[in-house]
Copies of this chain bind each other. A is one copy, B any other.
Amino acid sequence: MKDERGSIIVLTGNGKGKTTSALGMAMRAVGHGFRVAVLQFIKGDWPYGEKAAARRLAPELELVALGRGFVHVDPENPNPEDVKAAQEAWETCKEKILSGRYFMVVLDEICNAIAYGLLDVDEVVEVLKKRPPELHVVLTGRGAHPKLLELADLVTEMREVKHPFREGVTSRKGIEY
């Protein structure tokens, strides 16, 4: 018997592979002709690699950059501008989640926005519970809140076993962005 209810999938942990795994899931769903929205918190704009590939998977795949790149936030004392930007980003997410237009919505790096005190986890949980029953939602980012873990159907922790790259290497085109 098939269960057609949508899943809440959380990809967290300090290792690499959270965003790329969400992109791979989006790619797989798009291959079936399903519509997917990938909404990016925190980082600001999407890197070129993702954007160019996503264009080739349009219109089923939509990649939307939200927020304004608030990377360094003091959770005890977030900048009101950052809170405002995150709230506006969340309004877009909410609209997409509740729209009924998508098979899957990816909220990339939203766990960080919650951990930074920029978004209220209870509000996120409430909207996820109200989602269309068949909608899959993928949430990524470090330090996923316990309330998200509790709500989730599937949680994977990406654990860094070995240090990303050799010393002196920061990030490389086609690999990190």
Residue numbers of A with Cβ under 8 A of B are 1-5, 7, 9-13, 15-25, 27-34, 47-54, 56-57, 103-104, 136, 149, 152-166, 168-169, 172-175, 177
Contacts and interface: CB of A to CB of B under 8 A. Distances in A.
A70 B23 CA distance: 27
A177 B15 contact: no
Nearest to A157: B159
Given A3-B168, A49-B29, A174 B24 contact: no
B31 A52 contact: yes
Contacts of A174: 28-29, 32, 34, 103-104, 136
Could you say which of A19, A24, A161 has the most chain B C-beta atoms within 10 Å of its C-beta?
A: A24
Contacts of A11: 17
Contacts of A22: 20, 24
Contact of A27 (B23, B104, B173): B23
Given A32-B52, A53-B57, A161 B165 contact: no
A101 to B, nearest CB: 15
Given A20-B28, A23-B23, 6 more contacts: A7-B165, A17-B18, A32-B48, A136-B174, A156-B161, A158-B159
A21 B21 CA distance: 4
B54 A56 contact: no
A31 B17 contact: no
12 contacts: A2-B169, A3-B166, A3-B168, A3-B169, A11-B17, A16-B156, A23-B27, A28-B47, A28-B175, A32-B48, A33-B52, A136-B174
Nearest to A33: B52
A2 to B, nearest CB: 7
